[in-house]
Amino acid sequence: MTDPIADLLTRIRNALRVNKTMIEVNVSKMAIAIAKILKDNSLINDFKINQTKPPKMVIFLKYSDDGKPFIEDLKRISKPGRRVYAGYKDLKPLRSGFAFRIVSTNRGVMIDSEAKRRKLGGEIICEVYY
């Protein structure tokens, strides 16, 4: 697997399309950071790390009362072959505030509005539409 972040996003996207309640993915620092951001923005219920060999992360997906997923789409922006960076002035709102970017800065992984507030730029990991 050459891009574990793209694998994580694809697994979440595919699980939401077939209405799964939980998925199991490989653990990495970036995967944990992305899961924390999704949980903090109430787009997933929870996640936990199983201490198996190799360790796996279980993500519990969230749906509305009528069965629609809270996450509409996940889109990988920066890829291993083409990294995409942006300064804090370039972080404009997406879809009138109904989407956000996950940005890896020198102060950690955060959403674009937080990075802009702190005047931090960085690598744009992905876009989350809800």
pLDDT at residue number 108: 97
Annotated domain spans of the chain = 4-129
Q: What is the mean pLDDT of residues 83-103?
A: 95
Class of domain 4-129: alpha beta
Lowest-confidence segment of 60-64, 96-100, 118-122 by average pLDDT: 96-100
Q: What is the mean pLDDT of residues 67-71?
A: 95
pLDDT digits (tens, 9 = 90+) for 23-60: 999 999 999 999 999 999 999 999 999 998 899 999 99
Residue 34 class from Cβ within 10 Å (0-12 exposed, 13-18 middle, 19+ buried)?
buried
Contacts of 1 (CB under 8 A, 6+ apart): 7, 26
Read off the pTM: 0.93
